[in-house]
Copies of this chain bind each other. A is one copy, B any other.
Amino acid sequence: MPSLVHHPLDPSSRLVRLMCAEYGVPLDLEEIKPWLREPDFLEVNPAATLPILFTELEQPGVGVLSAVHMVEDLYTPEAVSGLVPPDAGARAEMWRLVEWIIVKLNDEVTRYLIDEKIAKRDQRGATPDPAVLRAAKSNLVEHMLYFNWLLATRAWLAGDTMTLADFALAAHLSSLDYMGDVDWSKAVETRDWYSRMKSRPAFRTLLNDRVVAMPPSPGYADLDF
């Protein structure tokens, strides 16, 4: 069975878990805290990023791009349609949005909130910096406006079909939602879309995730939130 070195709130780990669940591939999960920078972990990934995917290949998939491509290479089912559209134009729009999410949204929102709210709990005496939290949340409001605008005219984030871009955004929003940082009342279109994502069987494992001493926000696991 393939195994994934992950953290439950790391959005890139969540993306790979969602893909594998969607493709019907069971995963052994090994939880680590990348911010502790333990030597064994740094030896496999000096960039200290997650996830790391071990499969039947000798080479692991290290980091989100490598792991996502590995899942596509090894596990895309033949019988059902995969998450990468067959049409080149649709793929281009999908990659544009995947980059938006794994680079821009991460860089402006998700990584700050995880650093401040989760990683800092392992630094004695450290507390979240209110200025950083405020900036990240204000950036999130702008991102949500953009996603609302897209989803007002499209069934799925990158167009007519569900793609990797939907899974990437759902992975990030589910982490942010766990921490209580998403104001769904101001994001009608994105909320409707997220409700569809959340109802997929692939989503179930994520909704049962719990971080020690940090319960999820009230609506986190509700399909009707």
Contacts and interface: CB of A to CB of B under 8 A. Distances in A.
Residue with the greatest number of chain B CB neighbours at <10 A, chosen from A60, A70, A92, A107: A92
A132 interface: no
Contacts of A96: 45, 47, 61-63, 65-66
A121 interface: no
A70 B58 contact: no
Interface stretch (A97-105, A133-141, A172-180, A183-191): A97-105
Given A100-B47, A107-B107, A95 B57 contact: no
How many copies of the shown chain assemble into the complex? 2
Q: In terms of DSSP, what is the predominant structure of the interface of chain A?
A: helix
Contacts of A37: none
A46 interface: yes
User: Contact size class for A?
Assistant: 20 to 34
Interface of A: 45-47, 49, 57-66, 69-70, 73-74, 88-96, 98-100, 103-104, 107, 146
A70 B88 contact: yes
Contact of A88 (B62, B73, B93, B94): B73
A175 to B, nearest CB: 18
5 contacts: A57-B92, A62-B93, A62-B96, A69-B95, A74-B88
